[in-house]
Structure 1
Amino acid sequence: MRAQAAGDLVHLSTPTSANLRNRPGVVVHRRRSLLIEPPHVVVRQGLTVTRLEQALIDSWPTMPPAERRAPVIRAVNEWLTTPERLGVALESTPKLTDRAALRTLLTRLADGCRSPLEIWGHGHVFTGPGMPTFRRQVPIRVGRRTVYLDMFAERERVDIELDGATTHGDPRQREIDLRRDAQLASLGITVVRFAHRRLLHEIDAVRRETLAILATRRS
């Protein structure tokens, strides 16, 4: 879930009965309830490792705060786990650095947010008075393929798309987006796109525009 960088420590989980100590480059974590057998561990490429959910929870406090969310989001996006399974693993680890932030992240992922930008939008832009309850990552069949709508106001038939910073200035991605938007328009769905910069720095303006568009669609 995260590329290993030069100098990264190896974190080794062991039962409390194991007589192992820290070594240069290796940090030993003694776990009272850990058993070196399924379902506590699995074998991957000949190595016995803790399950993905527990590994993500255990690694949370070992990473810089700015890097903690990415592995969790990636694991959920790639269907390797679910927010619910991660929540169960979190409940079994009551003492965890910045536990509240991880719980909030799992709640946002369970709500359907699938990127840091969507999480930001959920908490700072697209909630509050007048905003509908958006459905997130809604599958819509378009021709022979299925597309997923970032935030769908079902009553108004409006799809809010949050364009990440890497999308801006890519002509190929722009062409793909235009074709997709035209196909959705043929189904009666209006697509509204907000750029990364505006979502972060023009919160009030984005809210006003969104509310005005929704009101127009209702009428």
Structure 2
Amino acid sequence: MNPVLMELVGRGGGLVTRATAVQVVPEWTLERACHVGDLVRVLPEVFAAAHLLADRPCRAVPAIGRLDPELGRRAVLAWADGRGALSHLCALAAWGLHRQAAGDLLHLSVPAGVSLRSRPGVAVHRRQGLVLEPPHVMVRRGLAVTRIEPALVDSWPILPPGERRAPVIQAVNDRLTTPERLEVALGASPRLNGRVAFRTLLRRLAEGCRSPLEIWGHERVFTGPGMPRFRRQVPIRLGSRTVYLDLYAEPERVNIELDGATTHGDPHQREIDLRRDAQLAALGILVVRFAHRRLVHEIEEVRRETLAILSTRRPDTSVPPTAAVVPSHRWQFSGPTRRRQAS
């Protein structure tokens, strides 16, 4: 490859556009690099170093799909040349909420009047009212991307059903957004596939659930007759740090902790949990832990145990007859009226 062109490709992280290349080398130099196999045209006017493309025997995979997903996203923006922003799953990847694989479809959103069209490996979405500047478009990891709320809403129907909730939950946990802001974004997509399930998830997050296991517990285990109104993710100060209680029955001072499958068998995490539980016990808070396996497979038994524990922690407000206060005088009844006489 021509040394000047090679340096230009290196500065571009493996990519170069025709417009950039012809500023420093003749156009035939670029064409020759493609002819001998040093460069590969991955999108109109966008070229990548050939050694960066994965070897894929299937011809159905477009050249853009043979790039590493991060390089593919950069190539799409180079093709857009300021006329669009990464959206859908591409935006989620830039926000750190989704991991794309080589060959996954890349998504670009553009204003309604832009003439870019979808191509093999790239889906172009036209959006009325989209403005390619904040707050509609943000820069994330050096890439122009749509805001996190529309990115989550747009991605919901194209993710497999079992993978839809995780990015939403992580975004709220990482304080990138709130259930309320997501509710507003959902309102702009009245025909979204899976809208009811999305709204249910937002309601659970607004109620304080912060993991799929907590949502399962809320919907299947810790609701129903006899169960108190648990507070969720209650902050408690322990020395110099703040911990958050999964479920807290305040009158009974009982903290229910839902231990996920990933923490099972981790000695270090177990030691941290024991120290935390001991500190809470010093504050008069009883910690009860249920493992993932029991929460999923022993629902009724977990419910019975929880109700039994709560019943032992409730103060008995009834006053039995033998414990009644005996006054220092007694009552004497005379006819329909009652008179108090000294003993």
Deviations 1:109-145 (A, max 9, x none): 1111010000000000001111111111100011111
**Residue 88 of structure 1 aligns with which residue?**
184
Matches within 5 A, 1:16-165: 16-165=112-261
* C-alpha displacement of 1:46: 4.2
Deviations 1:154-173 (A, max 9, x none): 01000000000011111111
Identity fraction in percent = 75
In 1, Cα distance between equivalents of 2:245 and 2:150: 31
In 2, Cα distance between equivalents of 1:35 and 1:57: 18
Look up the equivalent residue of 1:114 and give its one-letter code.
R
Look up the equivalent residue of 1:194 and give its one-letter code.
F
In 2, Cα distance between equivalents of 1:14 and 1:57: 17
* C-alpha displacement of 1:39: 2.2
The normalised TM-score by structure 2 is 0.62
Deviations 1:77-134 (A, max 9, x none): 1111111111111111111110111111111111110100000000000011111111
Q: CA RMSD in A?
A: 1.1
- Counterpart secondary structure, 1:103: helix
Q: Name segments (4+ residues, structure 1) moved above 3 Å.
A: none
- Counterpart secondary structure, 2:213: helix
The normalised TM-score by structure 1 is 0.96
Question: How many residue pairs end up in the alignment?
Answer: 219
* C-alpha displacement of 1:4: 1.7
Q: Which one has the largest radius of gyration?
A: 2
* C-alpha displacement of 1:45: 4.1
Q: Gaps spanning 5+ residues in structure 1: where?
A: none
By relative contact order (CA 8 Å, sep 6+), the higher-ranking structure is 1
- Counterpart secondary structure, 1:133: coil
Q: Gaps spanning 5+ residues in structure 2: where?
A: 1-96, 316-343
